[in-house]
Amino acid sequence: MLRNYLKTALRNLWKNKGFSAINILGLAIGLATCLLILIFVMDELSYDHYNKNADRIYRLDGEIKFGGNHFILAVAPAPAGPAVLRDYPEVEKEVRFRNNGGRLLKKGNQNIKEESIILADSTLFEVFSLPMLAGDPHTALKETHSVVITEKMAKKYFDGVAADGVVGRTLVMNDSIPYKVTGVIRDLPAQSHFHFDFFISLSESEDAKRTDDGWLSNNFNTYLLLREGTDPKRFEAKLGGLITKYVAPLIHAAVNISLEDFYKAGNTVSFSLTPLTSIHLHSNKTAELDANGNVQYVYIFSAIAAFILLIACVNFMNLATARSSNRAKEVGIRKVLGSLRGSLIAQFMFESVLISFIAMVLAVGLAYALLPVFNQLSAKQMEIGLFSRGWLLPAMLGLMLVVGLLAGSYPAFFLSAFRPIAVLKGSVSSGFKTSWLRNSLVVFQFFISIFLLVGTAVIYRQLSFIHNRELGFNRDQVMIINNPYVMGNQAKSFEQKMLNLPGVVGATMTGYLPTSDNRNDDAIFLSPDLDIKKSISMQTWPIDDQYIPVLGMKMVQGRNFSKEFLTDSTAVIVNESALRFMQGRKPLETKLYELDDIKTKKVKEFHIVGVVRDFNFNSLREVVTPMVLFLAHDQGRIALRLHGGDMHRLAGQVETEWRKMAPSQPFSYTFMDEEFNNIYRSEQRMGGISLSFSLLAIFIACLGLFGLTAYAAEQRTREIGIRKVLGASVGGIIQLLSKDFLGLVVVAMAIAFPLSWWAMRRWLQDFAYRISIGWEIFAVAAFAAIGIALLTVSFQALKAALANPVKSLRSE
């Protein structure tokens, strides 16, 4: 029986090669898309599960609302970790990270800048599962100036030396500080929410040793290993005790106010827990150790995969029924000869599963071929691992079977239901227009396609808005030189030499640029008595007198800093957002105050000399917050304002000067517009992936529309022949066959437009500065959908219109 089914199925596929190819291609694309998204989703969901105790590890996070700002932090105060371990028996271990940025490492006579460096407590290996290849995990980070490195870094800095041989050797950092390598660990897996190659003992950090005023500063990523059986929710509720015991006395000492009055003034300070396995997809807080993912993308891509697969299945149904009249006589004769409906259903279901199997084989090949492109779009290094993942092959075979049965069920029951007498008389269907199911399916297909089109258009419009928005500074033609601090006292001389290069029209030196991630928030007061009701939480940035003109910022009141004014050592410039919190005071007549020492209660006084127009120094997801700029020497980076010419040639000249002054130090640079674009890299990736899926959905939907057009043409062959004999034009025939399908596309648009508007409006809520979704987006989507549908339908309609009516009527 199976052999007969197979022979019949193969003969059928070969007889209708064109439709079989379209059927298989549609299913293959749907299955390949589903496979790629499945790998992506599983990769996203697997983050940090490599840790043996992943279900018991939680990050201690802080939340502060003060002076008009609200901070949701991935960090906690330095003393918080030890205090929690000491005060709460539910905690088994704690470990703190302190991210102080990159360092210079010496290899031979050259220095190499390494960014993946972190300071960590000696308990690191008792909390996280980081397999050590050499060294003792219990003592590796106990001593000052000790470092544990990854296997990759061991190979990089100690060529050809085994891991055991690396332990005990020395790495020189920042030119002169020796660090003893006390351990070598395996490279961290890609599915980790942090990626570091150097773990330095936290014992060298003076901030980590602060036990009193350290509670007012949040700089440490702190992780807790809870004891087995601990209820994290109940434990989290107890963390308020830390505020009462440690933070409240410091608030009172600093600003002479009780914790209760602090809260009554609209302020907040609290601690919370984030499960380790939720960090990657559910945490986007200030001071994350690495850029995290977004669970919304997982939901969106999962839905897209399901929809595309459904569209492919719908195509199978439509294309199968489109060829129904070709198999009607076969069904009629089989029934006359005694075939039962059950055996006919089995035959058609077998054909469906066979097509699904062929499509699955092709889909796996497509997935492997498209994986490099998908990896590039998603910025990942995923592998399909069809045989290495024990669950994937059975899942794919199960999916193949489900798709085959689902897609083949309607054609099987539809074809097997033909009545032999009606079939042999030539009447096999009641016509196209009465099939509400097929009409609903094509509406569903184009609803998904149009929804994706609108979503993609909104994403690209928002990215274009971000790219072209007036930011309050000019990011074009600004070259940024990294790490001038390595030159020490020569950094200023180097900056002056840059000004002598042709094409350089300005230079400023500071580590605080709008596109960098350097941030420093502090409490600023409007009165010398540090009245909490007259406080502003502000970004405080050190700059020089060239910062504002070089970056193209505008002063709206007062003046810029100037070397001609000796009093500018205590002068500050504020931004427009700061004025909202000054309670009606005239800025140029206002003094600002800052607590310099909590123990002595020494207060610094500043006078405002100017107001700079607001500039975006965070992502456009966030509003511009109050800022104060003060005159100070900072050697973090040098920004050069360029004018015309070949910027990369100029970069070569800058490097030549660098080599003259610092021959052993690494030279690196970037451009400000590149740094700005990197801030929105995830949205750009989202846009690229959405566009790809939209095109795939439209292509598959058009295959279905092609099938429906073919079906309608077959159903109306006699009618078309009669109309042509009576003088109907080719255009009239095309219009006859097209109008019903275009009506279905219009219905799909009527459903898709409001739903896509609602969904994309919610997506845009993440941006403080965003576009409005105008009618033109829907107009473009409508034009594209109707145009594509018309082209698809017209091909088959034109074929039917040009057919010889004599041939179609001869058999009647």
Say what the pLDDT of residue 129 is: 95
Instruction: Classify 583 in phi/psi space as left (phi over 0), alpha (psi -120 to 50) or beta.
Output: left
Say what the pLDDT of residue 801 is: 66
- Length of the chain equals 812
Say what the pLDDT of residue 513 is: 93
Task: Give the chain's end-to-end CA distance (angstroms, integer).
Answer: 36
Say what the pLDDT of residue 418 is: 62
Say what the pLDDT of residue 433 is: 45
Say what the pLDDT of residue 620 is: 80
Per-run averaged pLDDT (10 residues), the chain, 812 residues:
63 67 82 88 92 96 85 92 94 94 86 92 95 93 94 90 87 90 94 95 87 83 96 94 90 82 86 96 89 85 84 74 61 66 73 83 90 84 78 82 75 66 56 61 82 85 84 91 89 92 92 86 85 84 94 94 87 92 85 80 88 89 89 92 82 90 88 86 76 80 72 67 72 73 86 92 86 89 83 71 62 53
**DSSP codes of every residue in 536-573:** EEEEEEEE-TTHHHHTT--EEEE----TT-GGGGGEEE
**DSSP codes of every residue in 175-196:** TTEEEEEEEEEPPPPSS-S---
The enclosing H or E element of 66 equals strand 57-66
Say what the pLDDT of residue 203 is: 92
Say what the pLDDT of residue 714 is: 64
Say what the pLDDT of residue 414 is: 67
Q: Torsion over CA of 280, 281, 285 and 288, rounded to 10 degrees? A: 10
The residues, any chain, with a CB within 8 Å of residue 150's CB and separated by 6 or more, are 184, 185, 186, 187, 188, 196, 197, 198
Say what the pLDDT of residue 564 is: 86
Say what the pLDDT of residue 416 is: 66
Give the span between the Cα atoms of 323 and 319, in whole angstroms.
7
The residues, any chain, with a CB within 8 Å of residue 77's CB and separated by 6 or more, are 62, 214, 215, 216, 217, 218, 219, 220
Give the tens place of pLDDT for each residue, 88-97: 999 999 999 9
Encoded tokens for 456: 């993609």
